[in-house]
Amino acid sequence: MLVLGISGSPRKEETSGTYKVVKTVLEASGCDYELLSLRGRNISGCIACLGCVKDNVCKVEDDLAQLREKIVNADAYVIGAPNYYSGMNVAMHALLERFFQFRHQEGSLLWGKLAVAVGIGGMGGSFPADDIERLLSYNFIETIAKVAGQGAASCFSCGYGETCKVGVPYMAYGEGVKITEDNTPDVTKQADVMHSAVDAGKLLGERLLDGHDRMAVTQRMQQRLMEKFKGTV
């Protein structure tokens, strides 16, 4: 079984909480895995050209073309994004928008696969994790666990974090705050988050290696979407 991890964080690997948590989930899965970062990649959102309708292959020419085969061949995913304004960042949103290419004419390339959603943000990561789960569901991908944690908001390193009254350090610690290593959030020091990441990875591995039935998952996810949209059109 091969698990594909994708970090949507624009930060370098050594400073990205999203990347670190995604990697922790992958390592705990006990499966073969590959971890990719969207940092530095040029991936636009869906342009609604419908060029993918006939063959389920997106016709937008950018860096997603290099990732398409990896996405199709993976048995499961660990998808992580940072929290931007209570949602996922644009790089990850663009990538998941382009999953539209896989679902035409009952295209089943991704149906019934499993995922873990990771969200990390200066004020928490639940919003991007929820966004990831929602967008994956349209290809009948089941998110079996979500991991959310608090990373270091950019305010901690912008140079004005101690005096800016709309920055996270000021709002979190009050006037006169001094930014130190101890009060700068770091997901690797948050035992509950890291334990949650390990547990999510173990669950993913167990589900994959214990007779994973993609058809059963597909049917369950399809039913959920039907119930969600029933009566809305």
- Per-residue pLDDT of the chain (233 residues), as tens digits, is 999 999 999 999 999 999 999 999 999 999 999 999 999 999 999 999 999 999 999 999 999 999 999 999 999 999 999 999 999 999 999 999 999 999 888 888 999 999 999 999 998 999 999 999 999 999 999 999 999 999 999 999 999 999 999 999 998 899 999 999 999 999 999 999 999 999 999 999 999 999 999 999 999 999 999 998 887 76
**Pairwise CA distance, residues 3 & 13, whole Å:** 19
From 30, 6, 24, select the one nearest 208 (Cα to Cα): 30
pTM as predicted: 0.94
**Pairwise CA distance, residues 77 & 57, whole Å:** 20
Angle at 145 (CA atoms; ends 142, 146), nearest 5 degrees? 115
**Pairwise CA distance, residues 190 & 211, whole Å:** 33
From 112, 109, 132, select the one nearest 120 (Cα to Cα): 132
Sequence ranges of the domains in the chain: 2-151+187-229, 154-185
Q: Which fold has domain 2-151+187-229?
A: Rossmann fold (3.40.50)
